[in-house]
Amino acid sequence: MKAAATAHPGCRLQLWFQDEARIGQKGRTAHRWWERGQRPAGLCDKRFTSAYLYAAVCPASGADFALVMPTISTTAMSLFLDGFSRSLEPDVQAVLVLDQAGWHGAWALVVPHNITLAPLPPYSPELNPVERVWLYLRERFLSHRLLDDYDAVVQACCNAWNALTVTPQRLRSLTSYPWLPCVRYPSAECHLVTALGS
């Protein structure tokens, strides 16, 4: 945060988190309420068509940005960052926290001027609030489904994301990790909203 504030004086800093999830025909099981001692019936698809849901969320405000892409790559990540950059207000510098996947730190990755990438420590997905978003989407909207083709997978991703983000309070609730209020804004010139729900 200090480095972003020093490099972009006069900007409002916003803390965002980003991740990708593969969603497809070969789904996964989810918890279901059922009678004790009996196995619940459920749909299971063994085909392999899938898409990737790229998402960024701001835990403080519940703001979000997401794209569905056919692949996971440096090019796709550059497209995501470009769209995310254009969605930000003009005076905002987004500090985007993400894992250390190869396409997040590739030399060919194009990072817009109003985004500062902040990698998480290696092998620490539990620090990324977006992981809870994926769990919620799979439990509520994306498990036990038969999706006919790629278009159906994309539509399922869009429907699930739109159902979640129609209420920003739900997104704030899912991403309100206890350590986030400890993040301090580094200077008086930059304003970082750290109080969740404010």
Question: In CATH, which superfamily holds the domain spanning 2-28+43-182?
Answer: Ribonuclease H-like superfamily/Ribonuclease H (3.30.420.10)
DSSP 8-class letter at 164: H
- Asked whether 18 and 97 are in contact (CB, 8 A), the reply is yes
Q: CB-based contacts of 18: which residues, under 8 Å, 6+ apart?
A: 54, 55, 56, 57, 84, 96, 97, 98, 130
Domains of the chain, residue spans: 2-28+43-182
Strand 92-98 versus strand 115-119 pairing type? parallel
Whole-number pLDDT of residue 196? 36
Q: CA-CA distance, 156 to 158, in Å (whole number)?
A: 5
* Model pLDDT for residues 134-166, shown as the tens digit of each residue: 999 988 888 877 888 999 999 999 999 999 999
Q: Return the number of other C-beta atoms located less than 10 Å from residue 30's C-beta.
A: 14
- Residue 185 pLDDT greater than 60, yes or no: no
Average pLDDT for the chain: 85
Interior CA angle at 30 toward 42 and 38, to 5°?
55
Contact 41, 29 (CB under 8 A): no
Find the distance separating the first CA and the last CA of the chain, reported in whole Å.
Answer: 20
With a CB cutoff of 8 Å and minimum separation 6, the contacts of 166 are none
Helix or strand run (H / E) with residue 79: helix 74-87
C-alpha to C-alpha distances, 74 to 101, 102, 109, 111, 164, nearest whole angstrom: 10, 8, 6, 11, 27
pLDDT band, residue 42 (cuts 50/70/90): low
- Segment 12-34 shows an average pLDDT of 81
- pLDDT at position 7 is 78
